[in-house]
Amino acid sequence: MRQINAFDAGLIALGAALNVSIGYLVNILKLPIYLDSIGTVFIAALCGWQYGAIVGISALIVLMITAVPTVIAYCGTAIIIALLSAGLAKIGFLKTFKPTVEGANHAANFPLNGTIQEIIIFPSDKTSELTALHNDIDTYYSIP
């Protein structure tokens, strides 16, 4: 990883702002799609997975401070999104049809990864506790 200069720091801030703001917008409009990692994908494809991971973790820290403290559990998901985005960009993601379909398949599996992490980090015998956690996570994008 090269040394971070002012331009790179600006891109990281832009990506984190995209994650948080578009996540809020999607929640307000009640859209049935999660776009809260679009900044992570964008920066990872442009600058590499390390920068994408920094963007994803930064956005989660902002959300942890401002909305729901348990959202930091998705830190691993942000890193995996950055890794896959950078890897897919290197093999020609969105340049031809076949990698685009493969990328869409990977994107469909991102929520599964987060759910597995949630179950491992917050094990529970009671489904009510897991439901309460889901309710907290669903509200982390609501405007305070």
pLDDT 10s digit of each residue in the chain, 144 long?
678 888 888 999 999 999 999 888 887 887 777 788 889 998 998 889 999 999 999 999 998 898 888 888 889 999 999 999 999 888 876 676 555 666 666 666 666 666 666 666 666 554 555 555 555 555 555 544
Q: Are 114 and 74 in contact (CB under 8 A)?
A: yes
What pLDDT, on the 0 to 100 scale, is given for residue 56? 94
The stretches of the chain forming alpha helices (DSSP H) are: 6-29, 38-47, 49-66, 75-90, 97-121, 127-138
What pLDDT, on the 0 to 100 scale, is given for residue 107? 64
CA distance 85 to 104: 11
Q: Are 60 and 37 in contact (CB under 8 A)?
A: no
How much is the pTM? 0.65
